[in-house]
Amino acid sequence: MPRKLFGTDGIRGVAGQPPLDPATVFAFGAALGEWVAHHSSPRVVIGMDTRESGPALAATVAGGLARAGVEACFAGVTTTPGVAYLAKTEDFVAGVMISASHNPYQDNGLKVFDHTGFKLPDAQEHRLEERIFALLAQCQSPVPLALKVDPAYDRHYSDHLASTFHGSLAGLKIVLDCANGAASEIGPELFERLGAQVVSTGCTPDGRNINLHCGALHVEGLRERVLAERGDFGAAFDGDADRCILVSGSGKIIDGDHNMLIAARKIRPPAVVATVMSNLGLQRALSADGIGLIRTAVGDRYVIEEMVRSGLPLGGEQSGHVIFRQFATTGDGLLTALRIFEIAASSGLTLDQLTEDFTSYPQKLVNVRFKVKRPIEELPAVQAEINAAEQEFGDAGRVLVRFSGTEPLARVMVEGPTADRVDFRAHAIAAAIEAAMS
């Protein structure tokens, strides 16, 4: 049965509106609490990013947990991977992160991790949904619970990150863009602690400026700042700091695919796990080094599931989620920056040199809004355009057409050797879809 509340990254929506209205959030806390209450130490850690709606949502979740007799411990503003780490290493049955990641401040979300540090499996989320709807039917009135931040939790996570780093960043100037989000305090403190000269931007959250023209989705400002400051590296995180995009000293943008290539050449795994959106250039660069590439559906949870199934240590997404299984159970922007900076510092090479043989193939993404959803394989005109693109590009390109899981959109991705032909083929496929589904 399809899930109605949980998507690929927890429950997400506009704060204060279903499914993030007080009644549903309280029922979520109560349902989670009923599951947690069966364990010997019924405690849950809650963290949040810097959105103005975070404290109220945290208090409402805590109230629901209290209804089930479960203690809520509050880490305050912290990162999503920080909550995952605390859930795994501290005496907690689960962790709840209140964040909508890279979305604007009006949105928020509820992400759940169990004691393994991994996001809940689909079956467990389905059981939670059933119980949430049952509690809502009982018309329980939300009773928020006041929470007090325990700063020790953020220190534990920061200490863990620092312990993974070997060497020193002394003498290096690093520009950090923390998206006015969860890494705004811990990010600069961590890199200064490791010896770097840190220039901070996007580190003054006001509840409404998270991800606003800054962070991992808007790296142009970071690039300009790195060049102006003559920095050695730049790192941009998103609102909950589970992704990282880097900038080299010359201003080159280093995305998740580049980061996976740099790390893979150091770790030397038999294969790297990435999604269908990762660039063909990554696949070819890895292949040249005798490293395979396993592709999954879009979403870091699917990457992690395949990493666990295949026993592989490295995976991620082009968008900046990179998972180092030796140190984390989810994408971690701060950890990614540490790993890449450590490799660069120890090798004496710049980010430009570490990625100089990465040839990025032009990609074009086109979203097509439809009225009537129809299987792509049942649309002859669309199949003809797809076949034409595949025949033109051969093994020097890719075509991917998929449906959004949350909106009435067909997403067309075309990749090939030249930008003009990629653009032409992507729009031809999109036009065929629009004509067939309007």
C-alpha–C-alpha distance, residues 214 and 272, integer Å: 29
At 408 the pLDDT is: 87
Residue 7: per-residue pLDDT: 85
* Assigned domain for 60 exists: yes
Query: Are both 76 and 172 inside the same structural domain?
Result: no
CATH number of residue 76's parent domain: 3.40.120.10
Q: Are 216 and 336 within 8 A, CB to CB? A: no
Q: Which one from 53, 101, 248, 319 is the annotated catalytic residue?
A: 101
Structural domain includes residue 424: yes
The count of domains in the chain is 3
Rounded distance, CA 101 to CA 80, Å? 9
Which residues neighbour 391 within 8 Å (Cβ) at sequence distance 6 or greater? none
Do 209 and 350 share a domain, yes or no? yes
Q: Residue 81 and residue 113: Cα distance in Å, rounded?
A: 10
159: in domain: no
In this structure, are 345 and 376 located in the same domain?
no
- Does residue 246 lie in a domain region? yes
Q: Are residues 232 and 337 in the same domain?
A: yes
Three-state DSSP at 359 gives: coil
CB 156 within 8 A of CB 86: yes
Residue 1 lies in a domain: no
Token pair of 203 as six digits: 């580190």
Per-residue pLDDT of the chain (438 residues; tens, 9 = 90+): 457 899 878 999 999 999 999 999 999 999 999 999 999 889 999 999 999 999 999 999 999 999 999 999 999 999 999 999 999 999 999 999 999 999 999 999 999 999 999 999 888 999 999 999 999 998 778 999 999 999 999 999 999 999 999 999 999 999 999 999 999 999 999 999 999 999 999 999 999 999 999 999 999 999 999 999 999 999 999 999 999 999 999 999 999 999 999 999 999 999 999 999 999 999 999 999 999 999 999 888 899 999 999 999 999 999 999 999 999 999 999 999 999 999 999 999 999 999 999 999 999 999 999 988 999 999 999 999 999 999 999 999 999 999 886 678 999 999 999 999 999 999 999 999 999 998
3-state helix, strand, coil in the chain (%, to 5): 40, 20, 40
Residues 145 and 181 in one domain: no
- 380 and 422, same domain (yes or no): yes
Where is the domain boundary, 151, 180, 197? 151
Task: Say which DSSP state 121 is in.
Answer: P
The answer to whether residue 33 is domain-embedded is yes
Closest by CA to 342, choosing from 275, 407, 259, is 259
Per the structure, the complete domain to which residue 19 belongs is given by 6-151
Tell me the Cα Rg of the chain: 22
Q: What is the pLDDT of residue 140?
A: 75
Same structural domain for residues 209 and 336?
A: yes
Q: Which of 124, 151, 178 is the last residue of a domain?
A: 151
pTM to 2 decimal places: 0.93
**Are residues 188 and 280 located together in one domain of the fold?**
yes
* Three-state DSSP state, 408: coil
Any bridge partners for residue 149, and if so which? 74
Has residue 400 been placed in a domain?
yes
Q: How far, CA to CA in Å, does 161 sit from each of 101, 164, 336, 339, 374? A: 20, 5, 10, 10, 47
153 Cα distance to chain centroid: 21
Q: Tell me phi and psi for residue 183, to 5 degrees.
A: -90, 5
HEC profile for 232-263? Answer: CEEEEECCCCCCEEEEECCCCEECHHHHHHHH
Of 128, 151, 174, the position where a domain reaches its end is 151
Q: Are 264 and 258 in contact (CB under 8 A)?
A: no
Give the three-state DSSP class for 206.
coil
Does residue 403 sit within a domain? yes
- Chain center to CA of 120: 16
For the question of residue 101 being annotated catalytic, the response is: yes
Question: Do 329 and 202 have their domain in common?
Answer: yes
Cα–Cα distance measured from residue 210 to residue 101, given in angstroms and rounded to the nearest whole number: 9
Claim to verify: residue 201 and residue 337 sit in the same structural domain: yes
Helix (H, G, I), strand (E, B) or coil at 54: helix
pLDDT at 298: 87
Q: Do residue 313 and residue 403 come from a single domain? A: no
**Domain match, 311 and 186 both:** yes
CA 12/CA 3 separation, integer angstroms: 13
